[in-house]
Amino acid sequence: MAKPKEKFKVWGDVFDEFTILTINKLINKNCLEALQSPISVGKEANVFSAVRGDGMVAVKIYRLETCDFNRMYDYIRADPRYIGLKRNRRHVIFSWCQREYRNLMKAREAGIRAPYPIGFLNNVLVSEFIGEEYPAPKLKDAIPKNIKSFAKTVFEYMKKFYNAGFVHTDLSEFNILNHNEKPVFIDFSQTTTLKNPNAEEYLKRDVHNMCKFFSKNGLEFDEEKILKEIKENNK
């Protein structure tokens, strides 16, 4: 059973009646059993841990009233998969959630370590919990012991995703987890296809963000060289 509404209130502004009904439907579909505790609070969504069987899952809930759906719309309307999407708050938010589910699948298919998507409905996404007893830390909070090897894997993942026809578009030390000294990419809601007219600009931004982070931690990379390597042999 989902926790009653009065207990949800302490966890932010995501638990309106509609969202609670959505969570209960996902419970009935065996995507989760009960929410546990907050993992993170973002601009558009909050992430919680939840119980499922003998393990844990992550539940991402997009805010229906306070998220910047205009910004979401500006990003998603350029994605060829969502051409014709109406500028309607709920339609945009639901499509944003569905988009993250689809992008997680594509990332996994491309050989990138990312949370396995379990299910979604409306503004709620359920995915694999990355961590053991506690959530794996973000890269910004847990610098790898072998940062050179970590960086190499990050750029390899970016190349694999590009070869599969996608760009993350929001890659940084905030959207990569350090799980047992290995990178796990998260937050794929902004991810788009290479057919998006802004794809190359987004790729350059992702490369810049990562090179800047690694530079702060003792590694120097040539951004143009990294870009070239990512694009090499693109099928």
Active site residue 79: no
Final residue belonging to a domain, choices 128, 154, 175? 128
With both helix axes pointing from N to C terminus, report the angle between 199-216 and 147-163 in degrees, rounded to the nearest 10: 180
Instruction: Check residue 12 and give its pLDDT.
Output: 55
Domain contains 2: no
Instruction: Check residue 3 and give its pLDDT.
Output: 45
Structurally, the chain folds into a number of domains equal to: 2
pLDDT confidence tier of residue 11, bands split at 50, 70 and 90: low
**What residues have CB less than 8 Å from 36, skipping those under 6 apart?**
48, 49, 50, 51, 56
Q: Of the residues 141, 187, 206, 222, which is catalytic?
A: 187
Domain contains 134: no
Domain contains 5: no
Domain contains 71: yes
Instruction: Check residue 13 and give its pLDDT.
Output: 64
pLDDT of 7 higher than 80: no
CB 197 within 8 A of CB 79: no
Q: Of the residues 13, 16, 74, 170, which is catalytic?
A: 170
CB 89 within 8 A of CB 64: yes
pLDDT of 6 higher than 60: no
- pTM here? 0.92
More confident residue, 70 or 59: 59
Active site residue 187: yes
* pLDDT per position as a tens digit, 121-153: 999 999 999 999 899 999 999 999 999 999 999
Residue 47: which domain range? 10-128
Place of tokens 């995507």: 31
Instruction: Check residue 194 and give its pLDDT.
Output: 96
- Residue 142 CB coordination number (10 Å): 14
Q: Quick one: 119 and 143 in the same domain?
A: no
Instruction: Check residue 10 and give its pLDDT.
Output: 45
Final residue belonging to a domain, choices 98, 128, 158? 128
Domain contains 219: yes
